[in-house]
Structure 1
Amino acid sequence: MKSLIIAFAMYSKIPMPRVDWEKKALSWALCFFPLVGVAIGLVLWGWMALAQVLHIGPALFGAVALLIPIALSGGIHLDGFCDTCDALSSHQSRERKLEILKDSHTGAFAIICCALYLLVFFALWCEVEAAGRAALVLTLGPVLSRSLSGLFAVTLPNARGTGMLATFTAPMDTVKARLVLVLWIIVCAAVLLGLSPVTGGAALLGAGLACLYYRVMSARQFGGVTGDLAGFFLQSCELAMVLAVVLVQKLEAVL
């Protein structure tokens, strides 16, 4: 229970009781990270259902759908996305990029990339047909993205060896953690394909492409992963999944 509480306290704004961040509890915290996605997905599904009942227009629907994951996560992953964009846009050495990730100041590229990200994601939410099984597919997006992010965190080398991500991963039994997170991913993939082989498969393809980019980019540019890079991946993965669903829906409508 302490591990569950720590996961929600760290990666969400959902009120949690105070617990001691003991090594034993920290060692399992990332395994409960996907449950934060479950909570976000349930709120997102509730909004999609309410929007259908009240016939809410695409602009308001898209704005709230975009804000739900950011608000419930406290913006921690979007912060990592911005820091990573600053570092990538600097075109500096690997060491300098890692320093930029730790810099508390926000650069121009972070603001530009964040604005573009929110604009594109908002447009995608305005275009997606979030009803029926497609709504359930979209609900699973936050769960799958956090499962993949957690798996990368305990699988790929840590670029710095210190920081918040290292605090969570250092005391972990990595073999058991990987097993748990892989099971999360398998269940998510099975449910997505069971709901809709086309729409669910598109979401999986989008997530897969985000994983491929993240794996190559993190290794080449930073020599591993950090907490900020994990946030960058999570935001990119969720956008890629919604984008893939929108494209498939548009193709189905044309064909």
Structure 2
Amino acid sequence: MRGILETVAVAFSMFSALPMPQISWEKRNMRYALCAFPLVGGVIGGLCWLWGSFVSGGVPDLLRGAVLCLLPAAVTGGIHLDGYCDTVDALASHGTPARRQEILKDPHIGAFGVIRLCGYFLLSFALWTTLAAPVGKELCLSFCLSRCLSGWAVARFPLAKHSGLAYTFATAADRKRVAWILLLAGVGLGGIVCWKSLAGGAMVLAALLVFWDYWRRSRKYFGGLSGDLAGWFLQRVELWMLAAVWIVEWGAHLL
């Protein structure tokens, strides 16, 4: 039990801003840390459900949407948004894979990163604001599903370099078992989301399309996966899943 708790603590210490007991990162507690990554999504989804349910009809839609938009970043501390901005800047350079890797290492944010980050929050805010309340199971579980896909990619995708966050977690993990656990968890979550739900089916389809694009671009433009690319993927897939649910709701309203 202690080993499981330490593994969960490692995952939350790295991938969230929530207070955790300080423990040393060792092979034994990092071996399955990626498997605990979806639990961070469970906390985000749970908080979104609580806020969306208890304020339904009680606060203006703009305030409801603003909190739902900002909750994921508040829980994660913005770690994935950092990777999103770096990757956007690297892609905008149209340079070689080596040049893009250099841009990923630069701690400064570029103009394209700022522009895309503003657009990201604006679109996320608009989607959350116009979605029906309360927040459904599809979107609550989307944060877990996105992390199943992200963790699986870290375990199975080729790595671009022998350093960095993705390399640290990938090399410390029992990659084959971690991949199987996350695959089964992802399939189970996808089944629950899709069960008798057109919005859930659209959400899973969107996630798979973004995941395919992630695999293609990480190999073609960067020579493999890195921690920044993992953050870029996570932010994109969550936004596209949110958009897919909104499209279904909007289509049903038109009909």
TM-score in same-fold range (> 0.5): yes
What is the 5 A alignment of 1:1-255?
A: 1-54=5-58, 56-131=59-134, 135-194=136-195, 196-255=196-255
Identity of aligned residues (%): 41
The alpha carbon displacement at 1:219 in A equals: 1.1
Distance 2:213 2:132 in 1: 27
1:53 Cα deviation (Å)?
Answer: 5.0
Q: After TM superposition, what 4+ stretches of structure 1 lie above 4 angstroms from structure 2?
A: none
Q: Name the stretch that deviates more: 224-233 or 57-66.
A: 57-66
Looking at structure 2, the residues matched to 163 and 10 of structure 1 have their Cα atoms a distance apart, in angstroms, of 13
Query: Is this contact kept in 2: 1:206–1:240, CA < 8 A?
Result: yes
1:89 maps to a residue whose letter is A
Q: What displacement does 1:232 show?
A: 0.4
Amino acid in structure 2 at the alignment position of 1:31: C
Cα distance in 2 between the residues matched to 1:89 and 1:145: 24
SS of match in other structure, 1:67:
helix
Report the TM-score, using the length of structure 2 for normalisation: 0.96
SS in 1 for 2:133: coil
- Count of residues in correspondence between the two structures: 251
Letter in 2 for 1:30: L
Equivalent AA in structure 2 for residue 47 of structure 1: W
Cα distance in 2 between the residues matched to 1:174 and 1:147: 14
Q: Partners of 1:213 and 1:51 in 2: how far apart?
A: 36
Across the aligned residues of Structure 1 and Structure 2, the Cα RMSD in angstroms comes to: 1.1
AA matched with 1:217: R
Cα shift at 1:175: 1.1
Name the aligned partner's letter for residue 160 of structure 2.
A
**CA displacement, residues 68-125 of structure 1 (integer Å, 9 cap, x when unaligned):** 0000000000010000001001111110100110110111111011011111111111
**What TM-score, normalized by structure 1, do the two folds share?**
0.96
Equivalent-residue separation in structure 1 for 2:240 and 2:49 (angstroms): 19
Cα distance in 2 for partners of 1:43, 1:163 equals 30
1:139 CA drift (Å): 0.5
Q: Which stretches in structure 2 are left out of the alignment for 5+ residues?
A: none
